[in-house]
A and B are shown apart, each in its own frame.
Chain A
């Protein structure tokens, strides 16, 4: 834990003297509100110029499953009434859509609206107090006793500690809640897309402290904006600067820096002097030793190519984008000095002392010597306008929205739109979702849902309320894709095959059974308006209702038959084949510990994150409790059973 603090603070401490003092007020979220940007959006209804292969019913399903996270009760009728083309136009201009429901829901997640500076100071205070408590009480080995000791030492810090555990959980929950109850669905889909494209891992060091702002100020405002603006916001975000080590990249000793003042020779600030004075001689010696070590590491550290490489390979040109290792180095050199404020708000700063002021050559373009932050801006301009980037982004969007292998002609047109509009994401998306390829038979149900899409679509189908606990978000982790929990910088796959293996299917089936059994807060079948009527209807009517609401009105005859009755011939055959061990199943299974759901969620929210050293929080923790309660045996009958089967069915795994 202590190491984490050092690795964030120490290198920065040394470079901070030349920065202007951070102030709290400067930290208030200042990014343009989505509405002001979206206000510029054109409201354009693109009518089909050629006949679409999909039936009207299929078109309605298609837009609701690709440009939204599946239909909520009543939405199919609403889209049909509005007209598919008009609905598309509206989603592409999200500020025309009332979003008050989502706004209200999101306000319930307490950590979300807060500035990063609060999280940073909370974190550093708690870490300091923890060290002191531990030093004072040598034998407090366990986390529980450490927590108790902290609570005794300072109730306020103990509360801070609890709150800081909630940061990630609140972001994850809000992301899912917006997808489930929000009406700006395309904006939500695009936020999901870009947060995955520009992925950051919450479990790396202090990255999680920066994630609320990453979602709120960096991705969301630009999700349907111009790619260059989005790219710039990402490159300057504390989350990305920290996650891909850009904040510690400095000119190597071979190249001159812009400012001649050597790092580490600066006089300590007044605050630093005060702190030094308050230390015991032993503490001071330790601190000095640590600083010396850090200085040595700094001196050796020099250029860090990590961000530059991923910027080219994953964020812009793509792995086949025609760049060389030398380009990676030259981009990294151009970006030296792009770092973050060591304290306060951790905001982006450009430090001339770290910047490599020599001449560089990126993708054949000369970046002149002697400049500063302009070098990085010029590189981002170059990359954002590059034809390889246009194709890479167009291809990836088509994969998300159309199919795993989208037709080349469509990708060509989307690429052309990108280049013609200077990377206007909204127009690229418009080209794709109004294309005949989008409405082709081949594209219908062609995509396998990601875990996030599966959970969101199931919750939407039953008309769920937003879950105010972290539990639903933990289910996304349980299905293999914790939000902000992908370690590697490539993000989760956009293609379907990766999500389909035996363990994943099993968890999806058990998720469906758990949902049908009412184990997810805010999502029992009683939320589903049709349930009340269907409960008393015939099995056939129930199956029709479930197929309509969950499977888009389309299920294979086999599926329908299986849902209808347990006595279909195939099931009987299977029954015989499985034989004796099937009947012995329940006896063979030891029911796992029964945990009440509310308790799970509570302990989950309050359980302290494990030490940063244990690479756990791919979830925001508490995954085990979720898995246990999802693992409880389910006895389903009647309508609930049909719903459980439908969510577990192959058809529901697709969109």
Chain B
């Protein structure tokens, strides 16, 4: 049984509670929007051995390096374009071919020496490009022309062969 003081207290009550105002809370379910896949970061770099002449240039060997490549802070009419399997460009690195004779009409001529400067129609050089794990092809362009493409199984084989041992 309750104590009578409680009853007395209850009897003394005549309070009402006004209708509570509506509490509107913006707490709807939300889902974060689907983010586009992040571009893959380069994993070290590739040293490309490039050989050929004004008609065609080939990547004949690749050596993988664990460190990032240094900056290439110059512009050039020549470049190496790195693409993924879908053909999207992952990166473009300028290429300095200024030491070679790239006049197509001179192809086949013996090298020319002025003083102590050799000008050869045969290109033989190294170039560095970042190694994107998603990369599937390399394209060598010169003055708007594609002089060489390395892609598919050949690309994969050269990258694999050039992996650090």
Q: Do A and B come from one complex?
A: no
Residues of B within 8 A of A (CB): none
Residues of A within 8 A of B (CB): none
